[in-house]
């Protein structure tokens, strides 16, 4: 069996160290340097010849993360790694997954092309904004499901028969229905209309939440406008409590202030993206064990779907 080596890009080291520890190893030794003009250079300080190399790096801003990832893959391939597997907990540009108006780029396809062009053999990611992004790849994609960490946490809250799930928009119905089905609960939908990106024009609730403990389900929270407006609307409709779960805490702009001043009991997120600041309303659950188990199953040729709830 080939030797397994786990390496990390600059911005995901906080998570990569936990993944390596959960797998039972240490991060591989590499150097990432920058020229005075910002140009990136990478160098593996140990041999990767014949090894299965796992590179952990999410592609959240800055854009340098994507360039750094491509250089790391290229260097490993040129150093005769047996296989190079990209572990991308957060897949950047996933929101640009289609042409929803004329003359726009499909950013998630551009990222897919970039990853494949440098020779990656496999991609491992979690809770893509749109599952069909897997179809942009001609290499295997392991699409992990965040419910594996969120469902046990929700069960620990013992919310009982008053539990109901809500999708903050029509696009998240499939994801929310999966949670509701797991708990044998009902679901409602917050139908929103946008004027432009990150700006909501109107929103309405489809379904009854009177006297219920509502859990909003989303794949990411960016400016937190949608999730906090939905929470406020659900409370106005008679919800007893409202909390939210979202895999990727992008949390840009006014997000932290909006969450802190919102009616949300809590926002439960994962560590695919590091928090920029602490908040008493934000709880972070770690994906490290899930990714470590997935890496093990890839190496031993076992089922990845066995990790799903």
Catalytic residues: 192
Q: What b/e string do you get for 285-305 counting C-beta neighbours within 10 Å, with b at 16 or more?
A: bebbbbbbbbbebbbeeeebe
Bridging pattern class, strands 199-206 and 186-196: antiparallel
Instruction: Provide the token pair at 111.
Output: 């990222």
Side-chain-side CA neighbours of residue 98 (13 Å): 6
Bond prior to 62 in cis (omega within 30° of 0): yes
Query: What residues contact 293, with CB distance under 8 A and at least 6 apart?
Result: 22, 307
Question: Which residues have C-beta within 8 Å of that of residue 136, sequence separation ≥ 6?
Answer: 108, 109, 112, 113
Element (H, E) at 142: strand 141-144
Nearest to 98 by CA among 144, 142, 133: 133
- 97 and 83 Cβ atoms separated by less than 8 Å: no
Nearest to 30 by CA among 15, 18, 14, 41: 41
Half-sphere exposure of 240 (CA within 13 A, CB side): 10
d(CA 269, CA 216): 12
Helix, strand, coil content of the chain in percent (nearest 5): 35, 30, 40
CB 82 within 8 A of CB 2: yes
């Amino acid at each position: 069996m080939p030797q397994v080596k786990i390496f990390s890009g600059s911005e995901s080291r906080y998570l990569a160290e936990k993944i390596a520890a959960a797998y039972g190893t240490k991060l591989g030794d590499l150097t990432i340097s920058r020229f005075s003009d910002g140009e990136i250079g990478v160098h593996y300080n140990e041999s990767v010849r014949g090894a299965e190399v796992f590179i952990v790096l999410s592609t959240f801003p800055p854009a340098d993360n994507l360039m750094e990832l491509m250089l790391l893959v290229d260097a490993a391939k040129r150093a005769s790694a047996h296989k190079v597997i990209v572990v991308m907990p957060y897949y950047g540009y996933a929101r640009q997954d289609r042409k929803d108006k004329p003359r726009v780029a499909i950013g998630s396809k551009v990222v897919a092309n970039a990853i494949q062009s440098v020779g990656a053999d496999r991609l491992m990611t979690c809770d893509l904004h749109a599952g069909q992004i897997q179809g942009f790849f001609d290499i295997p994609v392991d699409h992990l499901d965040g419910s594996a960490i969120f469902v046990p946490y929700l069960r620990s809250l013992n919310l009982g028969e008053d539990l109901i799930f809500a999708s903050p928009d029509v696009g998240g119905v499939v994801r929310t229905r999966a949670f509701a089905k797991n708990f044998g609960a009902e679901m409602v939908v917050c139908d929103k209309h946008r004027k432009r990106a990150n700006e909501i024009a109107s929103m309405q609730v489809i379904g009854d939440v009177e006297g219920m403990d509502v859990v909003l389900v989303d794949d990411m929270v960016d400016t937190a406008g949608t999730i906090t407006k939905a929470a406020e609307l659900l409370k106005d409709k008679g919800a007893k409590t409202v909390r939210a779960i979202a895999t990727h805490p992008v949390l840009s702009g006014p997000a932290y202030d909006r969450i802190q001043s919102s009616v949300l009991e809590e926002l439960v997120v994962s560590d695919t993206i590091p928090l920029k600041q602490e908040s008493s309303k934000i709880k972070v659950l770690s994906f490290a064990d899930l990714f470590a188990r997935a890496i093990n199953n890839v190496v031993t040729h076992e089922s990845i779907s066995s990790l799903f709830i």
